[in-house]
Amino acid sequence: MSLKIGVVGGTGNVGRKILQVLTEQSVDIQSLRLFASKKSQGEKIPFQDREITVELLTKEAMKEPFDYLLFSAGGEISKRFAPIAEKAGNTVIDNSSQWRMTEGIPLVVPEINGDILKGYQGIVANPNCSTIQMVAALSPIDKVYGLRKINVSTYQAVSGSGMAGIQELQEQIGDPKREPRTYPKTIAGNCIPHIDVFFDNGYTKEELKMVYETQKILNKPELPVQVTTVRVPVMNGHSEAIYAEFERVPDLQEVREIFEKTEGLVLMDKPEDLVYPTVLDAHDRDEVFIGRIRKDLFDPKSLALWVVADNLRKGAATNAVGVLIHMEKLKGL
């Protein structure tokens, strides 16, 4: 069936990636409309063999019939407009954090828990970019060995802050004395252990997103998840050093075989030949890359691994389009 699709925030980094992924995934589109703020109204965005004129986002537009509306314009926009679209009978796939922990709203990585969408219509939440790549890597081995605890440190690219983050890094590379505007400290040549606001418990909002979203997606509400998120001077692509404890003793060979057989994962784990993933390997790719797999030196039930993904694609646009595709497949079952 040809689909009527709208993209809210179609002029941003993720919005443009959504258009790219829709084309690559050969989604059958009857009509495509792009919505943004007044500042971008009238802008022409190339899509396949034509240009699409950006429309002003209005309540009236969200009441019109769409098969899917993909939101990528921030939490406040989603909070204001997504319920209007839902009430009109539209399915909304939202990239912001606004609805992720709302009871009754599915938080979905299609290959992990996509079946909860069968028969569903309404708002679907896209998880945090760092959460997506972590659960994509851990879910297949959780099914075999049973996750008991996660400890993760992230190394997150400036593209996660949008064009403002990219521009600030570019400017500071040229002029290291340029005052920071997007980040609390200079990002060029630096690592900042601070993403989003701090809470009274010492954790940032980004860190707690990973904790609670992981528990919800894996359906393990009591799973201990310890997180430190760090912004690094990398243009695009997030990296994660993950330490995971399991109920059973994992076999390294079996773990590697599980990763090799799991669609959407790429194993790069031959350190003796300097084979391990970096963000350059993941750039503009949809897969999650895994390497540096090793046993804990003291606890046989624990593993350490290195996980890399393109945060604009796998961490946002590809997952959102994947939700759309999965929902369409479920309709045919």
CA 241 vs. chain centroid, Å, equals 17
Q: What positions carry a catalytic annotation? A: 129, 238
Residues 210-237 have a mean pLDDT of: 98
For the domain spanning 130-311, the CATH number is: 3.30.360.10
List the structure tokens of 63. Answer: 């009441």
CA 117 vs. chain centroid, Å, equals 18
**With pLDDT > 90 as the criterion, what percentage of the chain qualifies?**
97
Which tens digit of pLDDT belongs to each residue from 131-159?
999 999 999 999 999 999 999 999 999 99
In the prediction, which pLDDT does 78 show?
97
Are the C-beta atoms of 315 and 126 separated by less than 8 Å? no
Mean pLDDT of the residues in the chain = 96
Please report, for the chain, the start and end positions of each structural domain, with discontinuous segments joined by +.
3-127+316-331, 130-311
List the structure tokens of 175. Answer: 């002029």
The per-residue b/e assignment along 222-238, b for 16 or more CB within 10 angstroms, e otherwise, is: eeebebbbebbbbebbb
List the structure tokens of 157. Answer: 């690219």
Extended beta strands in 77-188, E state: 91-94, 123-125, 147-156
Q: Do 3-127+316-331 and 130-311 agree at the fold level?
A: no
- 10 Å CB burial of residue 135 (0-12, 13-18, 19+) is buried
Are the C-beta atoms of 130 and 238 separated by less than 8 Å? yes
User: Which CATH number fits the domain 3-127+316-331, given the four candidates 3.40.50.2300, 3.30.365.10, 3.30.1540.10, 3.40.50.720?
Assistant: 3.40.50.720
Structure confidence at residue 176 as a pLDDT band (50, 70, 90): confident
